[in-house]
């Protein structure tokens, strides 16, 4: 397919399902998942004051200075995602499983045995993790008695904001030469979903009203958000641990969405569109940067406090988009003959790069070590999601204003415990994360729990963890023109296996 480069200004109308950039797209990069090693996951990520685990440096980079030996670890994970949906009282369910190698890293520990030197230890760690698995299947369907997908195309055809009505002369223009707004109008007009009224210079719909619209939406997504961290840490008198991460971020995301709508209505004259399939394929790649600073203090031999700061992530993104439409219509007075139309520009649009800045995060942690046989730890993190921002700011003023008004600060609480019985370690954890929205019905709170077991062979260790989480949220049928949403409950089950070895 041909690829065309268009202006950044039109990206403000590009969707997460290839219609418009939305708050949901921003949260794909701003909301964290608990990933990493099995020990880390088994305690629900409550490692901010514990350290001694390669994934712990993502919470508090001072944690690498807790290591006493060089260590290498590799982690494989199986993620099972179940989406339960309700759309106009019709229930659907989709389940998807994926297996990936989601963590790989090593830490190198350098000790100074000079009794006159108070800086006893220095550590360097290199670690890669898939911070979010984007593989998912989601579907919902139902009978809408009020709104048709035609409202999406009418919105663009009749103009948005200061944009005028779609110029009917552009209906014969090359798709790739048009801005995104006009491309959507072009699709609607050439598929006969919308019609031009030359007298009033406005567009009207060919989809019958006063009928039932049987609608369904299916989305298949794949990809990941990844992070490579270069970590540096040191300890002062084995009482104060300080650390820093320099992080490189990567994203590779593909979303394929199909929207279907049928109806049994008829207009007495003109065209009546009774069947619509709207296909969208979006591909997003990008890279970015962030840094972490952290400290862990041994208040006593048994009690530790930790404080960590994670900077905003500055990420550069590029989107590609492919769209087509299939429609069936009748023409009065011969309403028994269906006319099919495939509206396919056969073009993949490549948009100019843009940026996203996700919010900073603060984490306060505490851990109590129980006679070297167990521990209890807790982390409390804060993020202000209203600071999420797309750039250039002038091109994304609308979505940035929406996020500033709709999003808010959110707290996350993680609690974990570990108990050792000779070579065996038993672990459990709990996680609660507030909604990033002021009105949490758009996306609810997340609740999760975890458990795990590990066996220490001496110089190596094998750890296994299970985690479960669930969250409810709303998903629009189409990103604009219609406000109809499905209620989604996402349940994730994860099995993680990590092999670690000292060297």
Domain that includes residue 351, residue range: 2-149+207-502
Peptide bond connecting 333 to the previous residue in cis, omega within 30 degrees of 0: yes
pLDDT value of position 375: 97
Say if 160 falls within a structural domain: no
Residue 493 domain flag: yes
Q: What is the DSSP string of 64-84?
A: GGG-SS-EEEEEEEEEEEEEE
Residue 26 lies in a domain: yes
The predicted pLDDT at position 257 comes to 97
According to the model, what pLDDT value does residue 363 have? 98
**Structural domains in the chain (count):** 1
**Residue 441's CATH number:** 2.40.160.60
* Mean pLDDT, the chain cut into blocks of 10 residues (503 residues total): 49 40 94 95 98 97 97 98 98 95 97 88 97 96 97 93 87 93 96 96 95 97 97 96 98 97 93 97 97 98 97 96 96 86 95 95 97 95 97 91 97 98 97 96 97 97 98 94 95 98 96
For the whole prediction, is pTM greater than 0.95? no
For 307, 308, 309, 324, the CA distances from 124, given in Å and listed in that order, are 20, 18, 19, 51
pLDDT at position 113 is 84
Structure-block tokens of residue 390: 């797309």
Residue 51: closest CA among 243, 285, 194: 243
Question: Mean pLDDT in the chain?
Answer: 94
Asked whether residue 463 is domain-assigned, the answer is yes
In this structure, is residue 396 part of a structural domain? yes
Residue 187 falls inside a structural domain: no
255 within domain boundaries: yes
168 lies in some domain: no
| Amino acid 12: pLDDT | 39
Question: How confident is the model at residue 2, as a pLDDT?
Answer: 56
Tell me how far apart the alpha carbons of residues 19 and 15 are, in angstroms, rounded to a whole number. 4
Cα dist from 271 to 123, 169, 189, 331, whole Å: 72, 21, 12, 5
């Amino acid at each position: 397919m041909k690829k065309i480069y268009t202006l950044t200004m039109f990206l403000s109308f590009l969707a997460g399902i290839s219609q418009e950039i939305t708050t949901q797209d921003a949260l794909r990069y701003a909301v964290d998942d608990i990933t990493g090693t099995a020990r880390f996951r088994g305690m629900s990520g409550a490692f901010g004051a514990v350290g001694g685990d390669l994934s712990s440096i993502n919470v508090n980079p001072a944690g690498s200075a807790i290591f006493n030996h060089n260590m290498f670890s590799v982690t494989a994970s199986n993620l099972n995602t179940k989406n339960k949906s309700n759309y106009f009282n019709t229930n659907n369910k989709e389940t998807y499983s994926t297996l990936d190698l989601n963590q790989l890293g090593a830490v190198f520990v350098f000790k100074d045995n000079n009794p006159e030197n108070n800086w006893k230890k220095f550590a360097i760690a290199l670690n890669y993790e898939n911070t979010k698995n984007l593989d998912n299947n989601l579907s919902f369907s139902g009978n809408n008695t009020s709104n048709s997908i035609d409202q999406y195309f009418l919105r663009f055809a009749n103009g948005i904001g200061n944009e005028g009505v779609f110029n009917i002369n552009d209906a014969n223009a090359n798709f790739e030469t048009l801005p995104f707004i006009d491309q959507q109008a072009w699709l609607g007009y050439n598929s006969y979903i919308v019609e031009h009224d030359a007298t009033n210079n406005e567009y009207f719909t060919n989809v019958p009203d006063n009928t039932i619209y049987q609608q369904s939406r299916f989305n298949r997504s794949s990809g990941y958000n990844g992070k490579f961290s270069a970590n540096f840490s040191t300890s002062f008198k084995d009482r104060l641990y300080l650390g820093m991460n320099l992080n490189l971020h990567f994203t590779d995301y593909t979303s394929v969405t199909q929207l279907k709508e049928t109806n049994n209505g008829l207009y007495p004259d003109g065209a009546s569109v009774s069947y619509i399939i709207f296909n969208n394929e979006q591909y997003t790649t990008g890279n970015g940067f962030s840094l972490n600073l952290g400290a862990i203090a041994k208040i006593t031999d048994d009690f530790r406090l930790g404080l960590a700061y994670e900077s905003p992530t500055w990420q550069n993104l590029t989107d590609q988009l492919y769209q087509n439409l299939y429609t069936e219509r009748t023409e009065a007075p011969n309403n028994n003959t269906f006319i099919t139309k495939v509206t396919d520009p056969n073009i993949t649009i490549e948009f100019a790069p843009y940026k996203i800045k996700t919010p900073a995060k603060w984490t306060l942690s505490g851990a109590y070590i129980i006679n070297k046989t167990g521990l209890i730890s807790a982390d409390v993190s804060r993020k202000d999601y209203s600071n999420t921002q797309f750039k250039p700011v002038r091109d994304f003023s609308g979505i940035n204003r929406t996020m500033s008004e709709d999003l808010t600060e959110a707290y996350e609480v993680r609690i974990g415990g570990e108990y050792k019985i000779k070579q065996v370690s038993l672990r459990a954890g709990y996680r609660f994360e507030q909604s990033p929205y002021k009105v949490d019905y758009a996306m609810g709170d997340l609740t999760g729990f975890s458990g795990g077991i590990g066996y220490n062979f001496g110089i190596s260790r094998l750890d296994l963890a299970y985690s479960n989480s669930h969250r409810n949220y709303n998903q629009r049928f189409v990103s604009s023109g219609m406000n109809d949403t499905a209620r989604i409950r996402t349940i994730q089950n994860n099995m993680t296996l990590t092999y670690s070895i000292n060297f």
